[in-house]
Amino acid sequence: MKRPTLIPSRWFFLAALSLVGGYIGWLLTESLHEQFGENGQGRSGFFTFLLSYVLLVGIVLVLSWLNFRGPFRWWLLSDKKWTYWTWLVLLTWLTFEGLQFRKGYEQEFVDENVLVTLVFVGIVIGFGYVADAFRVRREQLVLHQQKTEAELRALKSQINPHFLFNALNTIYNEADAAENETVAELVQQLAGIMRFTLQETQKDFTTVEREIAFLEKYLALQQARLPKREGLRIEAQMDYDGRPARIAPLLLIPFVENAFQYGISLQQDSFIALKLEVEEGKLVFQIRNSISPQAAQKQGHGTGIKNVKQRLELIYPNRYGLSAEGNSGMFEVLLRIQLEEK
């Protein structure tokens, strides 16, 4: 038996739009015929009048959009609300003065000009909030999609994690029994990194303590694999005041990975200097590393930093500052975030 073909929902929309548009068009045609009959000049005047209103609405929408792209984002969304409201007061005054000038400053039009000014400013304000609501919704959908994709990638890479943890525990026990404290410590650090990656990335946020512990384990493993020589320096300082705070998991590690990938050379002197401070919910992360000529040639296009910027914009809009630049054989990243309380 052949299944009936379902009519796409867009056809219902087009049918409804045609019906309503045709009905209003018919009423308008009848109204024009009733008012002007066969008077072509009258009809032309009406359409000129109608076009002027369409252009006026278009101008108002354009000005509202410019306000949303400019002052609304520059001042209202960057903790400078007083500047935005001051701008609106100035815009209100300029609009009113423009209308007064158009009417020759006649007193009988003051109330009309006040009403038009309030309507215009109301449209400007409302447009900004509606457009921003759509922007936030769109960013939430993108963030949700990225989170879902990341979870799927993590699931694909989880080849029986319990088996891996059990294997690491076995190696750790063997190293501990052989009194090889270095190997035992490294296995323990690796297990901690794997556990954090598999468990904490399933959450939107993790505690600052866990993120710092993860970075410390990663640094310990990296330092263990590198040779001990005078021309190779790795410095790390992490200070945390202990106040409850949350951070998006694995947010800082791309910067550290890039520093080791492009900042460490076994042929010449190189260094990495990392500093992390979290105080009163404010995070300041700074990492500097040398750049060898070989690393500069293979550095690519900064995909890792680009992805972090996208995450920051979605998770911490208007609550972060990020600079990443290289010069004189050195690359430096400075990140500031106003974290969320735990």
Give the tens place of pLDDT for each residue, 154-182: 555 544 455 455 556 666 666 666 667 77
Query: What pLDDT is recorded for position 157?
Result: 53
Over range 252-271, report the average pLDDT: 85
Backbone angles phi, psi at 269, to 5 degrees: -60, 140
Q: Percent of the chain, pLDDT > 90?
A: 24
Query: What pLDDT is recorded for position 301?
Result: 46
What is the model's pTM? Answer: 0.53
pLDDT for residue 120 is more than 80:
yes
Over range 104-125, report the average pLDDT: 90
Give the tens place of pLDDT for each residue, 309-338: 888 888 888 899 999 888 878 899 999 999
Query: What pLDDT is recorded for position 163?
Result: 46
Over range 254-272, report the average pLDDT: 85
Query: What pLDDT is recorded for position 153?
Result: 61
Give the tens place of pLDDT for each residue, 126-145: 999 999 898 888 888 887 77
Query: What pLDDT is recorded for position 126?
Result: 93
pLDDT for residue 12 is more than 60:
yes
Query: What pLDDT is recorded for position 46?
Result: 73
pLDDT for residue 264 is more than 60:
yes
Query: What pLDDT is recorded for position 333?
Result: 93
Query: What pLDDT is recorded for position 298?
Result: 58
Binning pLDDT at 50, 70 and 90, where does residue 50 land?
Answer: confident
